[in-house]
Chain A
Amino acid sequence: MPEKIEATDHGPVHYEPEPATLVRREAFTDGDSVFAFELQERDTLGHLPGQFVQLFIPGVGEAPFSVSSSPTDEGPFELCIREVGKVTNAIHDLEVGDTVGIRGPFGEVCDIETFADNDVLFIAGGIGLAPLRSMINYVLAHRDWFDDVTVLYGCKEPAEMLYPAEVRQWEQSDIIDFRMTVDGVPEGQTWDGNVGVITTLIPGLNLDPENTYTVVCGPPVMFQFVQQELDEKEIPHEQIYLSLERRMHCGVGLCGHCQINDLYVCQDGPVFNYEVIKNRPEALS
């Protein structure tokens, strides 16, 4: 009989998932839900904000997801997952108490501590809020390290909003400047906030470019337009970070699927410094 994998038996071996229990789930929209997992053999995941895990569903497959909870949050770790295919459908079929496999955390991230004593600007489009939320909550947990904290969040329509309860808190909070917009308001939905793509929120910001660190995550088309606006604001490129996604099959720098020119999203990213990534032609095309 093959031995059962011990949680401590990670070493250089990256392929065996460790069992984790789904302890809570909550739907935000038709296709997006948050799933909270507890590892069965370790107390905490031990991730850094911005890192991701590979989630394995027996019989179905494995896919990468950013951890959307901050390491400063107590309890289980959270993934916010959009239903788009095989694995994500199977995740949405899970019931509380079910077991899945987790590998990770993986990825290189930006050291948020280097933002200390500066302003921080987060720009999230759609499901891009999931990875940024871990960083936003990390920053909020250490709020006094930073000067102004601004969060811009855009989604297609009001009904697509993720983490609505938290968004409402952020809106009312005086420790962050939270601004939201929707691309449009379909009939039957109500909305009294901004309407327009996320880039329309940037010109109105009163930024101190030399002292602003920015982290951006959203669909591929969003980056270029956001970057144009950030250039208008003259934010130095070394102070801009992007969280990027690519296809992944291993998470450990071998399968080749996640390559952006010479860089590997699974190992060099998913959070990249713009100065590093901007001259990689495959990054933002």
Chain B
Amino acid sequence: MKILAKYEFDELVNKWIAEDPREVVGATHDGTKFVFDDIDDAEELRLDYDLTMLSPKKYFFPQRERLVQYDTNENDYAMVQDWSEESRIIVGIHPYDLVAIEQLDDIFIDAQGDEPYRRKRENSVLIGVTMQSVSEHSFAASMGTARTETGYDLLVTELEDTYAIEIGSEKGSGLLEEAPTKEASLEEVEAVEEQKAAVESKFEKGIEFSPKQLPSLLKEGYDAVEVWDEYADGCLSCGTCNVVCPTCYCFNVDVVDYMTDEVGETRRRWDGCLLEEFAAVAGGENFREERVARHRHRLMRKGNYLYERFGDIACVGCGRCTKQCVADVADPSEIYNELWRSVNA
């Protein structure tokens, strides 16, 4: 563990902004809310945030992104990959978002070999931060994601006048090479541990059982229609809960022509399984026509389906969906708890 004075850390960030070929982005406040965005100066960082609007997922799996460019002019039929190779230093990622990115890595890179994702992801550096504030909507501690030992290149914990920095990878240590760091003392190491532990008790929400039990709870609770109905009844099928989620990754593929039929591109765009047309096909069939079927699908996918396939619980408990749902029916912790009570009644 390394120690840097706060002003030295700021200088380091400013040096990246000035000199590093990668774009520096971080947790900041845009005047109305916390967001991940470009920063022009370390002063803009807000490492004390509670919850950002979107997670850094957007940097590897953007809301819209080109997959293939085509040009069918003059019989020279070309369909080419032309994926942006953006690279970033992302500063201030909370542990639950680091866990979410690790999951997406497992799926996009290891399992499915998705090139557009891999390029952006592997060109980027993740700088985590130990949580200082906790959103009233978050239940990450109960999901075991309020702290993490993996998934970051650097992990920063704010101490009094300094930052303690844990190094998670060579990429991370490379960033510190020229910084005037010193080794952390035993007291500083303990102070970091205390902070991480203290955060866990700040959560107001939580699931009332171990996340390990979620997959089997959902399997058992699939037919607990009363519970699903209770929440689905108010749902507006707006898909906001999907869009803000750090682990949701469904998409549509559209064709966008450049004002001519011959030249254009295919683009993927975030989609949401709560939207009415998500499973509709030509001919009028819709395989998840009922709102309750879509609502349940989202929660099954998070707690059971993706776990069965990839081994990860796909809800990290950030609370974004809870915060953004205008109908107040998206909160996974509430629904899972209710299901727990119903199944164990």
A253 to B249, CA, bound (A): 11
Query: Does A236 lie at the interface of the complex (its beta carbon under 8 Å from any beta carbon of B)?
Result: no
Known A99-B77, A254-B114, A256-B273; judge A59-B255 contact (CB<8 A): yes
Query: Does A61 lie at the interface of the complex (its beta carbon under 8 Å from any beta carbon of B)?
Result: yes
Query: Does B130 lie at the interface of the complex (its beta carbon under 8 Å from any beta carbon of A)?
Result: no
- Contact partner of B283 (CB less than 8 A), chosen from A11, A19, A84, A101, is A84
Known A58-B264, A62-B266, A255-B271; judge A15-B257 contact (CB<8 A): no
CB pair B112–A17 under 8 Å, yes or no, is: no
- Contact partner of A59 (CB less than 8 A), chosen from B75, B114, B222, B262, is B262
CB pair B79–A16 under 8 Å, yes or no, is: yes
CB pair B261–A59 under 8 Å, yes or no, is: yes
CB pair B285–A220 under 8 Å, yes or no, is: yes
CB pair B261–A56 under 8 Å, yes or no, is: no
Query: Does A282 lie at the interface of the complex (its beta carbon under 8 Å from any beta carbon of B)?
Result: yes
A247 to B288, CA, bound (A): 11
Query: Does B287 lie at the interface of the complex (its beta carbon under 8 Å from any beta carbon of A)?
Result: yes
**Inter-chain CB contacts under 8 Å: number:** 129
Query: Does A4 lie at the interface of the complex (its beta carbon under 8 Å from any beta carbon of B)?
Result: yes
CB pair B113–A13 under 8 Å, yes or no, is: yes
Query: Does A85 lie at the interface of the complex (its beta carbon under 8 Å from any beta carbon of B)?
Result: yes
Query: Does A45 lie at the interface of the complex (its beta carbon under 8 Å from any beta carbon of B)?
Result: no
Contacts of A247 in B (CB 8 A): 278-281, 287
Query: Does B213 lie at the interface of the complex (its beta carbon under 8 Å from any beta carbon of A)?
Result: no
Contacts of B67 in A (CB 8 A): 15
- State how many angstroms separate the Cβ of B217 from the closest Cβ of chain A: 15
- Contact partner of B81 (CB less than 8 A), chosen from A16, A260, A261, is A16
Contacts of B33 in A (CB 8 A): none
- State how many angstroms separate the Cβ of B257 from the closest Cβ of chain A: 5
Query: Does A276 lie at the interface of the complex (its beta carbon under 8 Å from any beta carbon of B)?
Result: no
Question: Whose C-beta in chain B lies nearest to the C-beta of A87?
Answer: B282
A107 to B175, CA, bound (A): 44
Query: Does B72 lie at the interface of the complex (its beta carbon under 8 Å from any beta carbon of A)?
Result: yes
CB pair B282–A88 under 8 Å, yes or no, is: yes
Contacts of B249 in A (CB 8 A): 254, 256
A262 to B68, CA, bound (A): 29
Interface residues on A, range: 35 or more
State the interface size on chain B (CB cutoff 8 A).
Answer: 53
Query: Does B13 lie at the interface of the complex (its beta carbon under 8 Å from any beta carbon of A)?
Result: no
Query: Does B343 lie at the interface of the complex (its beta carbon under 8 Å from any beta carbon of A)?
Result: no
- State how many angstroms separate the Cβ of B122 from the closest Cβ of chain A: 13
CB pair B112–A253 under 8 Å, yes or no, is: yes
Query: Does B195 lie at the interface of the complex (its beta carbon under 8 Å from any beta carbon of A)?
Result: no
Interface members, chain A 37-64 (any B CB < 8 Å)? 40, 56, 58-62
Question: Whose C-beta in chain B lies nearest to the C-beta of A283?
Answer: B287
Query: Does A237 lie at the interface of the complex (its beta carbon under 8 Å from any beta carbon of B)?
Result: no
Question: Whose C-beta in chain A lies nearest to the C-beta of B297?
Answer: A259
- State how many angstroms separate the Cβ of A20 from the closest Cβ of chain B: 10
- State how many angstroms separate the Cβ of B125 from the closest Cβ of chain A: 23
Contacts of B115 in A (CB 8 A): 12-13, 15
Contacts of B114 in A (CB 8 A): 12, 252, 254
- State how many angstroms separate the Cβ of A256 from the closest Cβ of chain B: 3
- Contact partner of B288 (CB less than 8 A), chosen from A15, A16, A255, A282, is A282
Q: Can you list 13 pairs linking A and B with CB atoms under 8 Å apart?
A: A4-B78, A5-B80, A15-B81, A15-B115, A15-B116, A19-B79, A40-B77, A60-B255, A257-B278, A259-B279, A259-B305, A262-B308, A262-B309
